Amino acid sequence: MKTALVTGASSGIGAEIAKRLDSLGFNVIITARRTDRLEALALELQNDTTIIEADLSRQEDCEMLYEQTKDMNVSVLINNAGFGMIGDFDSTDLERELSMIDVNVKAVHILTKLFLKDFIAKNRGYILNVASSAGLMPGGPLMATYYATKAYVVSLTQGIAQELKDRGSRVSISALCPGPVETEFNDVAECSFAVKGISPDYCAECALKGLFGRKTLIVPDAGMKLAAGAVKFAPRKLILGVTGKLQSKKLEDQ
Ligand SMILES: NC(=O)c1ccc[n+]([C@@H]2O[C@H](COP(=O)([O-])OP(=O)(O)OC[C@H]3O[C@@H](n4cnc5c(N)ncnc54)[C@H](OP(=O)(O)O)[C@@H]3O)[C@@H](O)[C@H]2O)c1
C-alpha cells in the first residue's frame, strides 16, 4: 500500500492535501501539534491513517517523526507545516522569528535530507516542499523573515531537483509557490490579505497535479503565475516597492 506523510495537516493546505492523497488510495500519516484537529481529520479519511504529534520547531521532533515513519513505506513526503508574521523587522519578536526559521527552514531541510536518502536508495518517491510565491520575490518588506524562509525553500528545492535530474533519478522534488490561500495563515500571522486568495482545496489539487507531473516549481493561481513571470524582468527595486505597498495594506486592513 502507498503511504504519504503530510506535515501541518491539522488545517489549511496540509489538511486538503491529506484528503486528496487519501482519495488517491494512499495511507496517510498526518502530523502537527493540535492532535484534536488530526483526530477529526482522520475520521474523514477512508484508508489507514496514522496520527503523530510533533512540534517541528524542535529538531528532536523532526528526527522522531522520521524514526517513527521510516519503515512505513513512505513514498510521498509533503513538507507543508509553516507560518508567517508581519511587522517591521526591528519590532518583531526574535524568539517567534527563530521558531519560524526552525519550522519553515530547518524542519524542511532535516526531513528532506532524511527521506531523500531513502527515496534515492529505492529510486522512487516524491517530495513536495510548500514554499510560497513569497519565495520567488527579491524580498518582502514587513514580512522580511517569512519571505527569506520561503526563498530558502525554493532555492534548496531547485538545487536538489537539478542534482536528481543530473543523475537520472526517478525521485522527484517540487516547491509549491502559492499566492494567498484562504486558510488560518492570516490568523496566525495576525494580518489580512491584500488580494482575495484561492481555496485550500484548489491549491491542494494543483499541488498534487504538479508533484506527480514532476514539475519543480508549482504556482497554482494564474495571477501569481503572471506576477512570478514579471519578477524575472522587472527591476528588483520596483518589485520590492510594490511588495512593500501590498504588505502594508495587509496591516491597514486589520
Ligand atoms: N495561506 C497562504 O496564503 C499561504 C501562501 C503561500 C504559502 N503558504 C504556506 O502553506 C503552508 C501551510 O499553511 P496554511 O496556509 O495551510 O496555514 P494554516 O492553516 O495556519 O496551517 C499551518 C499548519 O502548519 C502547522 N504548524 C505550524 N507550526 C508548527 C510547528 N511548530 N510544528 C508542527 N506543525 C506546525 C499547523 O499545525 P499546528 O498548529 O496544529 O501545529 C498547521 O497544520 C505554510 O508553509 C505556509 O507558509 C500559505
**All structural domains of the chain with their residue ranges:** 3-252
Q: Which of ligand 1's atoms lies nearest the C-alpha of 182?
A: 1
Would you state the pLDDT for residue 43? 98
How far is the CA of 63 from the CAs of 57, 107, 239, in angstroms? 11, 9, 38
Short-list 70, 193, 63, 48, CA closest to 133: 193
219: nearest Cα among 125, 103, 107, 134: 134
Q: Is the CB of 173 under 6 A from ligand 1?
A: no
Q: Could you read off the pLDDT tens digit of each residue along the chain, which spans 254 residues?
A: 799 999 999 999 999 999 999 999 999 999 999 999 999 999 999 999 999 999 999 999 999 999 999 999 999 999 999 999 999 999 999 999 999 999 999 999 999 999 999 999 999 999 999 999 999 999 999 999 999 999 999 999 999 999 999 999 999 999 999 999 999 998 888 887 777 899 999 999 999 999 999 999 999 987 778 777 777 888 888 888 888 888 887 776 55
Q: What's the pLDDT score for residue 254?
A: 59
Region label for 139, one of left (φ > 0), alpha (ψ between -120 and 50) or beta (otherwise)? left
Return the pLDDT at 190. 82
Cβ of residue 119 lying under 6 Å from some atom of ligand 1: no
Best residue for ligand 1 mutational test, from 80, 101, 190 (most atoms within 8 Å of Cβ): 80
With contact defined as beta carbons under 8 Å apart, do 66 and 111 qualify?
yes
Ligand 1 atom nearest 33 alpha carbon: 41
The span from the CA of 205 to the CA of 82, in Å, is 19
82 within ligand 1 shell (Cβ under 6 A): yes
pLDDT for 44 equals 98
CB 77 within 8 A of CB 128: yes
Query: What is the residue with the minimal CA distance to atom 25 of ligand 1?
Result: 8
- What is the structure's pLDDT at 8? 98
Q: Please tell me the residue having the least CA distance from ligand 1 atom 1.
A: 181
Tell which atom from ligand 1 comes closest to the C-alpha of 56.
Answer: 32
Handedness of CA 192, 217, 46, 51 (dihedral sign): negative
User: Within the chain, how many helices (H) and strands (E) appear?
Assistant: 10, 7
Q: Which fold has domain 3-252?
A: Rossmann fold (3.40.50)
Determine whether the shortest distance from the Cβ of 13 to ligand 1 is under 6 A: yes
Phi and psi at residue 222, in whole multiples of 5°?
-60, -40
Catalytic residues: 146
Is the CB of 57 inside a 6 Å radius of any atom of ligand 1? yes
pLDDT of residue 253: 59
The pLDDT, as a whole number, for residue 230 is 78
User: Hey, which residues does 128 pair with through a beta bridge?
Assistant: 78, 174
From 5, 6, 7, 11, the mutation candidate for ligand 1 (largest count of ligand atoms within 8 A of CB) is: 11
Query: DSSP character for 214?
Result: T
Residue type, 212: F
